[in-house]
Amino acid sequence: MTILLELDPETEERLKALADREEISPEQYAGKLLDEALTTHTVGTGILTPERFDQMLTVLTKGSESRPILSPEVNERASYYEDRL
C-alpha cells in the first residue's frame, strides 16, 4: 500500500534526522512508526468471554484490597442530597 503524506518542513526534518540515526530511509522509518502505532492499538472482537471479564476485573481491582469497605448507606439517595431531605 502506498500512502501520500503532506508534512510541514519541521516534521520532515525530524523524520529525516530520526531515519538517518537508524540508517534507513525516511519512508522506511515512517512505515516503522506506523507499524508500531498499529501494534499498540488492538482491535477487539466485540465478544467478552467470562475468562476475559475475570482478567479485566483483576486488573481493575488490583491494589484495592487496602481500600476501606463502605457501608451500604453511602450509596443511598439521601447521602447524595443531604440538604434536600
Domain ranges of the chain: 7-41
Residue-wise pLDDT tens digits, 59-81: 999 988 888 888 888 888 877 88
What is the DSSP code string of 35-68?
Answer: HHHHHHS----S---HHHHHHHHHHHHTTGGGSP
CA distance 50 to 42: 19
Mean pLDDT of the region 21-35 = 95
Query: How confident is residue 84, by pLDDT bands cut at 50, 70 and 90?
Result: low
**pTM, full prediction:** 0.48
pLDDT at 41: 67
Residue 19: partners with Cβ closer than 8 Å, 6 or more residues away: 25, 26, 28, 29
How many helices (H) and strands (E) in the chain? 4, 0
Q: How far is CA 5 from the centre of its chain?
A: 25
* pLDDT at residue 85 greater than cutoff 80: no
